[in-house]
Amino acid sequence: MVLRYSVHTMPGEKNRWQIRVARQEDIPALHRLIEHSVRGLQAGDYSPNQIEGALGTVLGLDTQLIRDETYFVAEAISPGASSPRLAACGGWSKRKTLFGSDNASVREPELLDPATDAAKIRAIFVHPDFARQGFGTAILAHVEAVAFAAGFRHFEMGSTLTGVPLYRLRGYSEIERIEVRLGNGEVLPVIRMTKG
């Protein structure tokens, strides 16, 4: 499923953008996008040591989502550009893992039951160059729609502190603060949120 959007970034200028399923060949670019996003947009909520300890574990790419075809990328198509630019990414999961990358210590690969379980909204990151242009909202709306089409009626996520204001605006409620111990001795607060 591909959705296309148009968004005004400056008066008189239009960028087209599309959301598509992430592919295996996107993985190196997704790692770079996530690192840029975390370093550029999370610094106001987390210390440098927390960021270093969380990158690649708590904050990172879960390639199971790519294999499940439930992870998406938003590409900006600027006027005159020769190719689209990766602007954001995010997905949903039909598995129990709430957050974290391939290297996270807590992995729960068991499948969820759409009749009783909440789909997990996972790993939404926006490149700093595209922050506050609607990409995060568009990815979130897209993954909710696809999870809904798969039979899920409730959503759950482990949000960073930085993401909480957006998710509140989109109808999510905070239900728990999780203190995640990092390999470097730091602790990273993650907010468990639900909708539906």
pLDDT band at 14 (very low <50, low <70, confident <90, very high): low
Burial, 66: exposed, middle or buried (Cβ in 10 Å; 0-12, 13-18, 19+)? buried
pLDDT at site 103:
87
pLDDT at site 1:
47
pLDDT at site 15:
63
pLDDT at site 11:
42
d(CA 75, CA 29): 12
pLDDT at site 80:
76
- Residue 43: left if φ>0, alpha if ψ -120 to 50, beta else—which one? alpha
Nearest to 123 by CA among 43, 170, 44, 64: 64
- CATH superfamily to which 3-156 belongs: Gcn5-related N-acetyltransferase (GNAT) (3.40.630.30)
- The pLDDT tens digits for 47-93 are 999 999 999 999 999 999 999 999 999 999 877 777 899 999 999 99
- The pLDDT tens digits for 151-194 are 999 999 999 999 999 999 999 999 999 999 999 999 999 999 99
pLDDT at site 64:
96
Q: What is the mean pLDDT of residues 111-140?
A: 96
